[in-house]
Amino acid sequence: MNRWGLGLSGALFYAAPIGAGATGASYFAVLPFAGLFLLWVLIMRVEPFRDGLAMLVPTLMVHLALASLCIGFGHMMRALLGIEATTGLLPWLVMGLGGLALGRVLWQPRKEAEAEAFAEAALRKLNEFADEAEEILDRPPDLPLSHPTGAEAAALAVAYGALDAMPADAPEEAALSAVVMPLEAEVRAPILLEAFLNRAERTGTRRDRHAALLLAADGGLAWRQLGEGRMAQAFDQIVAAADTVTLAHFLRLASALLDGFPTTRNDLPQVSRLLDIAAQIEPGHPELSDALVHLANRIEDIDRDLNTND
């Protein structure tokens, strides 16, 4: 409805100077119609001269030219069609004012400006969202999440509290297992192993090194973290602390892990690293040294068997 009404308003508005020219108006009629065109700008815009009054003169010149064109077109029609009727200028000015009034009723400049501003803001937000989406898509994937969820953090906090209640240097493996192994069902493997390895590094206690080792040597967790070298990290912590007690547990658990999951061999320390530590501890701990050499040989045998099968 508004579209047809505005069309009618524009037709009346521009037909007025043409009609005036067709019915014998002189070229002096350019002045009132130019004023009518200027009035259109003043009424139909929220900010008629947004760039300042410096635009007033150019706008007036354009409207003078437009009024002259319309009246001249009316004179041409009068000559071509042989129109002889002559009327005063006032009815045509009233007609133009009527078209202007109709347009103003149908067109609410402030509301239209608000709607336009809202649309521009929405488009700007959409463009910003699209830019952010492109930036996110360009980033390398970070899955799984590298931080614990609220539920995972709560489960870890409960386990930490239970560990803190145990002796720092002589915990029983069964008691440690009862605390840490149920976490496999509550905390994602990368979060769980990283959390306990970091805790062992931070506290420096045999209890926490043993707890981290139990998780790293768990077959299910080790399989889900294949290639992350968790057993090698646990081994480095044990060696750095010169913890021969936990080293004995490492050798036992590493052998059991290889029994069930031979492909986890690459997550164990490098053979050269095992042999180097074996040579260092041989004078004081020959049995552990022999066990490290045996583990290194076993890893080499598994490597050879798997490569042959491939």
Same domain, 71 and 162: no
CA 195 – CA 110 distance, rounded (Å): 60
Number of domains in the chain: 2
Same domain, 203 and 262: yes
Same domain, 276 and 157: yes
CA 59 – CA 34 distance, rounded (Å): 10
130 within a domain of the structure (yes/no): no
Q: Which of 80-84, 210-214, 284-288 has the lowest mean pLDDT?
A: 80-84
Residue where a domain terminates, one of 82, 107, 132: 107
Same domain, 102 and 158: no
CA 133 – CA 21 distance, rounded (Å): 59
302 within a domain of the structure (yes/no): yes
H helical segments located in 23-55:
30-44
Residue where a domain terminates, one of 107, 142, 165: 107
9 within a domain of the structure (yes/no): yes
CA 246 – CA 237 distance, rounded (Å): 10
Same domain, 279 and 228: yes
Handedness of CA 296, 298, 301, 305 (dihedral sign): negative
Same domain, 271 and 195: yes
Same domain, 164 and 296: yes
What's the whole-number mean pLDDT along residues 88-117? 70
User: Residue 203's domain spans which residues?
Assistant: 150-309
Structure tokens that stand for 264 in this block = 């986890």
pLDDT at 113: 52
User: Token pair 């463009």 is at which residue?
Assistant: 127
Residue where a domain terminates, one of 56, 76, 107: 107
Task: Give Cα separations from 32 to 64, 67, 93, 240 (angstroms).
Answer: 9, 9, 8, 98
pLDDT at 126: 67
CA 88 – CA 91 distance, rounded (Å): 7
Percent of the chain beyond pLDDT 70?
Answer: 81
CA 122 – CA 161 distance, rounded (Å): 50
The single-letter code of the amino acid at 274 is L
Number of CB atoms found within 10 A of residue 300's CB: 12
Q: Which of 61-70, 111-120, 145-154 has the lowest mean pLDDT?
A: 111-120
132 within a domain of the structure (yes/no): no
Same domain, 273 and 204: yes
What's the whole-number mean pLDDT along residues 7-32? 80
Number of CB atoms found within 10 A of residue 251's CB: 19
22 within a domain of the structure (yes/no): yes
Q: What is the pTM of this model?
A: 0.53
pLDDT at 141: 45
Same domain, 278 and 199: yes
Highest mean pLDDT: which of 84-88, 141-145, 277-281? 277-281
Structure tokens that stand for 217 in this block = 């040597």
139 within a domain of the structure (yes/no): no
Same domain, 267 and 181: yes
CA 205 – CA 246 distance, rounded (Å): 11
User: Token pair 């976490």 is at which residue?
Assistant: 183
Same domain, 161 and 304: yes
Split at pLDDT 50, 70, 90, the class of 105 is confident
57 within a domain of the structure (yes/no): yes
CA 309 – CA 229 distance, rounded (Å): 23
Same domain, 305 and 184: yes
Structure tokens that stand for 255 in this block = 């052998």
145 within a domain of the structure (yes/no): no
